[in-house]
Amino acid sequence: MTKTEAATRIQKLREQINDYRHHYHVLDESTMSEAAADSLKHELSVLETAYPELITADSPTQRVAGAVLSGFQSVAHAGRMLSLNDVFSRAEVEAWVGRTHKLLSPKEVARAEYFADIKMDGLACSLVYEDGLLVRGVTRGDGLVGEDVTANIRTIESIPLTLRQTADADAFLAGRTEVRGEIVMYKADFTALNAVREAEGQALFANPRNTAAGTIRQLDPSLVAGRKLHFRAYDLIRDDLAEVPSNSYAYQALRSLGFLVNTQSQIFTDLDALMGFVQHWDEARKKLVFNTDGLVVKLNDRAVYARLGVVGKAPRAAIAYKFAAEQATTVLEDIRVSIGRTGAVTPYAVLTPVSIAGSTVSRATLHNEDEIRRKDLRIGDTVIIQKAGDIIPEVMESLPKLRTGSERVFVMPTQIDGIAVVRPEGEAVARLADLTVGEVRWQQLIHFVSKAAFDIDGLGERTLAGLIEEGLVERSVDIFKLTAEDLLNLEGFAAVSAAKLVDSILAHRTVTLSRFIYALGIRHVGDKTATDVARHFRSLGQFRVADPAQFDSIDGVGGVVASSLASWLGEATNQVLIDDLLSAGVVVTDEAAPVTGKLTGTTWVLTGTLPSLSREAASEIIERQGGKTAGSVSARTSYVLAGEEAGSKLAKARALGIAILDEAAFIQLTGS
Ligand code: IVH
Q: Indicate which atom in ligand 1 lies nearest the CA of residue 262.
A: 15
What CA–CA distance (Å, rounded) separates 362 from 583?
47
Higher pLDDT among residues 68 and 557, named by residue = 557
Is 322 a residue of the active site?
no
Q: Are the C-beta atoms of 190 and 138 separated by less than 8 Å?
A: no
From the alpha carbon of 123, which atom of ligand 1 is closest? 13
Tell me: the pLDDT tens digits for 172-200? 999 999 999 999 999 999 999 988 888 88
3-state class percentages of the chain: helix first, strand second, coil last, to nearest 5:
40, 25, 35
The contacts of residue 255 (CB under 8 Å, 6+ apart) are: 261
Average pLDDT of span 351-367: 88
Helix axes 3-21, 34-50, angle to 10 degrees: 150
Residue 282, pLDDT > 60, answer: yes
- Mean pLDDT of the residues in the chain: 90
Given this model, what pLDDT does residue 67 score? 40
Q: Which atom of ligand 1 is nearest to the CA of 124?
A: 13
Alpha carbon nearest to ligand 1 atom 15, residue: 119
Q: Length of the chain, please?
A: 672
Rounded average pLDDT over 361-367: 92
Distance 268 CA to ligand 1 centre (A): 18
**Cβ contact 519:581 at 8 Å:** no
Indicate if ligand 1 lies below 6 Å from the C-beta of 160.
no
Give the pLDDT of residue 305. 97
Lowest mean pLDDT among 26-30, 432-436, 649-653: 26-30
296 pocket-lining for ligand 1 (C-beta < 6 Å): yes
Whether 124 lines ligand 1, by a CB cut-off of 6 Å, is yes
Among residues 12, 119, 298, 322, the one annotated as catalytic is 119
CB-count exposure of residue 606 (10 Å: 0-12, 13-18, 19+): buried
CB of 144 closer than 6 A to ligand 1? no
Please, are residues 378 and 407 in contact by the beta-carbon 8 Å criterion?
Answer: yes
Q: Which of 25-34, 140-149, 571-580, 616-625 bottoms out in mean pLDDT, i.e. has the lowest?
A: 25-34
Residue-level pLDDT at 534: 93
Confidence tier at 389 by pLDDT (50, 70, 90): low
What pLDDT, in 10s, does the model give residues 471-518?
999 999 999 999 999 999 888 899 999 999 999 999 999 999 999 999
Q: Where are the alpha helices (DSSP H) in 146-256?
A: 150-153, 187-199, 208-216, 221-226, 247-256
pLDDT tens-digit series, residues 558-608: 888 999 999 999 999 999 999 999 999 999 999 987 778 889 889 999 998
Structure confidence at residue 27 (pLDDT)? 58
Whether 229 shows a pLDDT value over 80: the answer reads: yes
Residues in a beta bridge with 605:
630, 640
Kindly indicate the confidence band of residue 92, based on its pLDDT and cuts at 50, 70 and 90: very high
Task: Output the pLDDT for position 63.
Answer: 56
- pLDDT reported for residue 650: 86
pLDDT higher than threshold 70 for residue 211: yes
Q: Distance (Å, rounded) from C-alpha 380 to C-alpha 364? A: 15
Chain-centroid distance of CA 69 in Å reads 38
State if residue 293 touches ligand 1 by the CB under 6 angstroms criterion: no
pLDDT digits (tens, 9 = 90+) for 400-436: 999 999 999 999 999 998 999 999 888 888 999 988 8
Q: Which residues does 145 contact at the CB level (< 8 Å), separation at least 6?
A: 68, 74, 75, 76, 77
pLDDT digits (tens, 9 = 90+) for 154-163: 888 889 888 9
What's the average model confidence in pLDDT over 432-444?
A: 88
Nearest CA to ligand 1 atom 4: 119
